[in-house]
Amino acid sequence: MTNSLGSESNPLRVAVVGSGPSAFYAVEALFKEEGLHVGVDVFDRLPTPYGLVRGGVAPDHQKIKSVVKVYEKISAKEGFRFFGNVKLGRDVQVEDLLARYHQLIFAVGNESDRRMGIPGEDLKGVFSATEFVGWYNAHPDYRDREFDLAGAREVAVVGNGNVAMDVTRIMVEDGEVLAKTDIADYALRALETCKVNTVHLLGRRGPAQAAFSPKEIQEINKLGHVDVVVSERDGSLDEVSRDWVDQQSKGSIQRNVQFLTDQVAAGEGSQAKKVRCRFLVSPVEFLGDEEGHLRAVRIQRSELYLDDSGTPRPKGIDEFEEIPVQLAFKAVGYRGVPVMGVPFDERRGVIPNQDGRVLESAGEPVLARQYVVGWAKRGPTGLIGTNSPDSKATVAMMIEDLPDLEATVDARPEAIVELLREKEIDFVSYQDWQNLDRHEKAEGEKSGKVRQKLSDIAEMMEVIRAAR
């Protein structure tokens, strides 16, 4: 009988930092590896698992959230443990984990947002979509944000990806629909007073290059009480796009162009609420009033040109416009934040890696025993499911590296528990989370909601401790 790493007598021990989709797909791939004996401990800085499925996916998209059933099954497997309320860099260090696990996987996602780098970005009323999304989803980091939804009539949403769709839809969505979801209760109350009647959706490229999925833009139109309005000028394809579209095989491009063309024909519509899709416009400045409140966004029109790779890019032309808005959300993409002790590629906002193997820095050698998955690996693109093949690919690298793995590791499963107890860290087990989960669902049921989320870590810990 062999004593090689990953055998029954010498099981592999892996720590995963982060507990969103990419983490769970990595755990699944490890458990599915033929003949591998492995114990996996998943850490999260929050007491709750599931990353963006809990804190990012919009509350009116419960079907997408039902993917947690898959993660629950993975969590029920022997060899899985959850350590919530444990932050890497604060409560434990990379060295602590390297001393207790053979391999580490960073699944820390992209916790921040890209800045646009234009004047006025810090005015009152200008927010990142990340803040709004975290706020309505009861994320502890964003629960204290305040958005003047009752005071604003016109809002700019910059970017036209699916996050822009979520932010727009939640603002114009029917309160009765939201009331049944797991939206944060404070957000529901604030949205019930929302007087926003126009959302200006600002895309810097043309209709053919819109990053939203056809289903997502169409969903807004299907709400019934909102018109998605596209002017003839905004909805027409320019020459560059016409040729480019013909060469594209992605059906979503054609479907978006078709939908937007249909909306040009549909005109203004008759509903009081409007989502106005603008294309080939880039914000160049957020303008404030004397008190530093946002009053307008200044946009510059663009033309498209093909870059060296044949991709249409926007180039500003000498045509400007001011749109009066009282709130603005920048939905121009997420960005990773550095984790103490983990390399970080400042330029790309990710953990530098080669096919999931962490590098000392971009272009430098591989750091032994450290791996990365998800948005922290490839940047903020793709749907939840995209993470499955991506995590599998990283796990394949981990398995490939096993025969050469050299490290002295205290691989006893108790080793990490001893450390956390020594540091007096009140970690949250998977069972603790299940108790909190039950509590939130039961509280939700009382008011006809899917769940009543807690957004305050201290309150979560109170419920967890009471249930122990």
Regarding 206 and contact with ligand NAP (CB under 6 A), the answer is no
Which residues lie across from 317 on neighbouring strands?
none
DSSP for residue 355: T
Confirm if 260 and 215 have CB atoms less than 8 A apart. no
**Residue 303: which of 358, 366, 236, 245 has the closest Cα?**
236
Measured from the CB atom, is 305 or 467 closer to ligand NAP? 305
Whole-number minimum distance, CB 126 to ligand NAP, in Å?
Answer: 13
**137, 160, 181, 370: which one binds ligand NAP (CB under 6 A):** 160
DSSP for residue 286: E
- CB-nearest residue to ligand NAP: 161
Question: Distance (Å, rounded) from C-alpha 77 to C-alpha 81?
Answer: 9
Measured from the CB atom, is 102 or 204 closer to ligand NAP? 204
Q: Give first-to-last CA distance, the chain, whole Å.
A: 41
Confirm if 353 and 107 have CB atoms less than 8 A apart. no
**204, 276, 378, 449: which one binds ligand NAP (CB under 6 A):** 204
Near ligand NAP in 264-303, by CB under 6 A? 282
Whole-number minimum distance, CB 176 to ligand NAP, in Å?
Answer: 21
Question: Distance (Å, rounded) from C-alpha 226 to C-alpha 162?
Answer: 18
Whole-number minimum distance, CB 212 to ligand NAP, in Å?
Answer: 7
Regarding 159 and contact with ligand NAP (CB under 6 A), the answer is yes
Regarding 214 and contact with ligand NAP (CB under 6 A), the answer is no
Q: Is the dihedral of CA 237, 243, 244, 248 positive or negative?
A: positive
**26, 149, 158, 323: which one binds ligand NAP (CB under 6 A):** 158
**131, 284, 382, 419: which one binds ligand NAP (CB under 6 A):** 382
Residues near ligand NAP (CB under 6 A), total: 26
Question: Distance (Å, rounded) from C-alpha 212 to C-alpha 171?
Answer: 17
Q: Which listed range, 42-50, 210-218, 240-248, 268-276, lies at the site for ligand NAP (CB under 6 A)?
A: 210-218
User: What is the number of other CB atoms lying within 10 angstroms of the CB of residue 420?
Assistant: 19
**Residue 417: which of 29, 41, 39, 13 has the closest Cα?**
41
Measured from the CB atom, is 241 or 282 closer to ligand NAP? 282
Which residues lie across from 359 on neighbouring strands?
366
**Distance from chain centroid for Cα 465:** 29
Near ligand NAP in 309-348, by CB under 6 A? 331-334
**33, 166, 185, 238: which one binds ligand NAP (CB under 6 A):** 166
Question: Distance (Å, rounded) from C-alpha 427 to C-alpha 83?
Answer: 6
Q: Which listed range, 160-168, 335-343, 406-414, 451-459, lies at the site for ligand NAP (CB under 6 A)?
A: 160-168
What is the CB-side half-sphere exposure of residue 138 using CA atoms within 13 A? Answer: 22
Measured from the CB atom, is 53 or 416 closer to ligand NAP? 53
Q: Which residues bind ligand NAP (CB under 6 A)?
A: 61, 116, 158-164, 166, 203-205, 209, 211, 213, 216, 282, 331-334, 380-383
